[in-house]
Structure formats: structure tokens, C-alpha cells
Amino acid sequence: MSRIGKLPIALPAGVTVSINENVVTVKGPKGELSQYVDPTISVAVEDGHVLVTRASDEKQERAFHGLYRALIHNMVVGVSEGYKKELELVGVGYRASNKGNVLELALGYTHPIYFELPKEIKVETKSERNKNPLIILESYDKQLLGQVCAKIRSFRKPEPYKGKGVKFVGEVIRRKSGKSAGAK
């Protein structure tokens, strides 16, 4: 039995789950999300909990069991609490600002980068003296939030020599010593 798959998902107040022909829809105070579930996996709602079960012990079904349970759990947490990610811009002259849902980034290129965010994501930028600029992204969709963060990070990935670039807050960059350390 899948250790993750067999855990029931508790439904907080204000969250409803409906199942219609292999599509699980979760509605909550922050939004609504849907996910297709493979027909070999059955999803049931019983007294405030969502239960995910499988018919047999085949390898593919065992993999789907944990996967779909995790996806449904992420949807429940997203529509009830939401997700938040913080990105930090490390580098001289690196700036971030936003007008509505358009993010403007100055990352050392000859031109600013304008990135339009999906409507499901709320953005906030912070710039304080003697601190690195921050981009704070919030959403109820964990997959979309991670995808947008990865795209923003790809504009200027952190490099290993000086550590300059766009990184997650708390991310540790493995540093290299450079050519002066290995001269002897």
C-alpha cells in the first residue's frame, strides 16, 4: 500500500470536492481547481475526508495512487490557504517592479524584461536600501506558481562564482572558488 496514497485528505471548512467522470473539482474561498484522475484510481468523499484507492497492485497503479492523492491534497491546501513563493535578486543594479500583473525586471541586460503573469497569480515587489530586491508571488495553484517561478528564475539563473542572479529566498548556491584558488 502506498504510504502517501492511503492517507485521507481532511477537508477544511468552506472547501467542497465534487467528482464527475474521473475529474475531481475542488472549490474553496480562494478559487476553484480541477484535475483529471486515471480511471484505475477511485476517489471518494466520506464524512469530511477524501479517500483515494486503487484496484490492484500493479506498478503503474501504485505510482498513480500516491501521485493523485498528492495532487488532490495540493488543490485542497491551495483553495483554502494558498501558496506563496519569494524570489530574491542578487546583483548590482538588479531591480524588480510591477504594474498590475506585469513584472518589470532589470537583470543586467541591455533592456528591461517585461513578464506578464497569469491572472491567478498575485505579485508584490519589495526594494529596501542595502537589501536585495524581492519578488513575492501568491496563488492557489501550486503547479502554476512553481512554473512561473521557474520561468522568472530562468531569466538569470544564479551563477556559482559570485552568486549573482534570481534565486529563491533560502536557496543555497554552491559556490566555486575561481581561477585564483587553483593557481599553485
pLDDT digits (tens, 9 = 90+) for 7-18: 999 999 999 999
Number of neighbours of residue 171 by Cβ within 10 angstroms: 10
pLDDT confidence bin for 1, thresholds 50/70/90: low
pLDDT digits (tens, 9 = 90+) for 47-77: 889 999 998 889 999 999 999 999 999 999 9
Phi/psi at 145 (5° precision): -60, -45
168 near 86, Cβ under 8 Å?
A: yes
The structure's pTM equals 0.89
125 in Cβ contact with 98 (< 8 Å): yes
Instruction: Note the pLDDT of residue 166.
Output: 95
Residue 2 has pLDDT above 60, yes or no: yes
* pLDDT score for 184: 56
Look at residue 150 in the predicted model and tell me its pLDDT.
96
Segment 91-114, tens digit of pLDDT: 999 999 999 999 999 999 999 999
pLDDT score, position 177: 87
Percent of the chain residues past pLDDT 90, beyond the cut: 85
Q: What's the mean pLDDT in 15-27?
A: 93
- Where do the domains of the chain lie, and which CATH numbers do they carry? 9-80 (3.90.930.12), 83-168 (3.90.930.12)
Mean pLDDT of the chain: 92
CA–CA distance from 133 to each of 58, 77, 96, 103, 173 (Å)? Answer: 49, 28, 7, 13, 17
Per-residue pLDDT, averaged over 169-182, amounts to: 84
pLDDT, residue 146, reads 96
